[in-house]
Structure 1
Amino acid sequence: MDSRENIQLMGTRNFTRCESALHSEVEALRWAMENMLQHSPCQSFGTDCNELIAMINEPHEWPRFATELEKIETLQICFPDFKITHVPRVRSQLPDFLAKTARSFRRELLFIGCSIPVWLPRPPQA
């Protein structure tokens, strides 16, 4: 999102099963960071997962995630103004919808773009 909270770029990917939901959050952030390096000058990332923000801010307090957090710390070097902020669930319906849609695909799904592609189902209108 830009400073006015307009979506600039979105994406989704269905990963193989992770050890836990928190591992999935970390993996999704890593994937997003890697892709932003290729597709956008984005410096700011959002999540509805407070634990993920805590992990990024205090990685030494999460030894079970040391390997995953090292990868993210390495990627952070590429983002001089890296920020991760909390996005309340009520404001993250589109990302939640994309994540649920990706999980339901029986084959590999990977998409990055400015809008939802025509081949993906549309979110229900509120």
Structure 2
Amino acid sequence: MENESPYPRCQVDASWVKNSTVSGGGFVLELAPGSIGMDQTLCPMHAEFTILLYAMKNSLQLGVTSMSFESDCLQLVKLINDEEDWPAMASEWNEFIHLLSLFTVFSISFIARERNVRADLLAKGARSKNSIFSHVDSVIPGWLAHKANLFILN
């Protein structure tokens, strides 16, 4: 299915496991994929929100202020689109509102996990490094997620 939005899109995903010291996040921005190994978050939802914020920041750093974000985390999409109250996410929500104000066009929509394979592989690859790091480049390093290079953004 073609991207119906006239704006670039960015697919995001997080990888979180209980009793780990790090979470992983991945995003595929039509301009450049990226990943991040981050401190362990409180729950998977925090990890999903954290990688969305990171992708938003990277979009803005690249000068892209109109973006269609996509996530396979329905709970995150509902939280944002329905402006649900999540007291445990207050600091993330405040940062989101600030970043949102810097976009001229912003949307977030749910996509099936099968359509989010590259971001998922980047997130898992980042978590498996078991260290905190950031990588944004037009080429995904083989050590991070070799299979992620085999999939096109769809």
Aligned pair 1:32/2:55, yes or no? yes
Q: What residue in structure 1 maps to residue 41 of structure 2?
A: 18
Aligned pair 1:56/2:77, yes or no? no
The letter for the 1-side match of 2:130 is R
Greater shift in the superposed pair: 116-125 or 11-20 = 116-125
Greater shift in the superposed pair: 39-48 or 65-74 = 39-48
Counterpart CA distance in 2 for 1:82 and 1:33 is 10
Q: Is the 8 A contact 1:46 1:84 kept in 2?
A: yes
Counterpart CA distance in 2 for 1:7 and 1:81 is 16
The letter for the 2-side match of 1:92 is N
Q: Higher relative contact order by CA 8 Å / sep ≥ 6: 1 or 2?
A: 1
SS at match of 2:144: coil
Instruction: Compute the displacement of 1:80 (Å).
Output: 1.4
Select the structure that is richer in helix: 1
Select the structure that is richer in strand: 2
Counterpart CA distance in 1 for 2:80 and 2:55 is 14
Identity value in percent: 29
Give structure 1 stretches of 5+ with no counterpart: none
SS at match of 1:95: helix
Give structure 2 stretches of 5+ with no counterpart: 10-28
Instruction: Compute the displacement of 1:70 (Å).
Output: 1.1
The letter for the 2-side match of 1:17 is Q
Aligned pair 1:94/2:128, yes or no? no
The 5 A counterparts of 1:102-121 are: 102-121=126-145
Deviation string 1:72-96 (CA, Å, 9 cap, x unpaired) is 0110011111111112101111111
Q: Is the 8 A contact 1:101 1:121 kept in 2?
A: yes
Q: Is the 8 A contact 2:72 2:116 kept in 1?
A: yes
> What RMSD, in angstroms, separates the aligned Cα atoms of the two structures?
2.5
Deviation string 1:7-52 (CA, Å, 9 cap, x unpaired) is 3321100111000000101111111111111124151211100111
Instruction: Compute the displacement of 1:106 (Å).
Output: 3.3
Q: What residue in structure 1 maps to residue 98 of structure 2?
A: 74
Greater shift in the superposed pair: 83-92 or 58-67 = 58-67
- TM-score, normalization: structure 2? 0.71
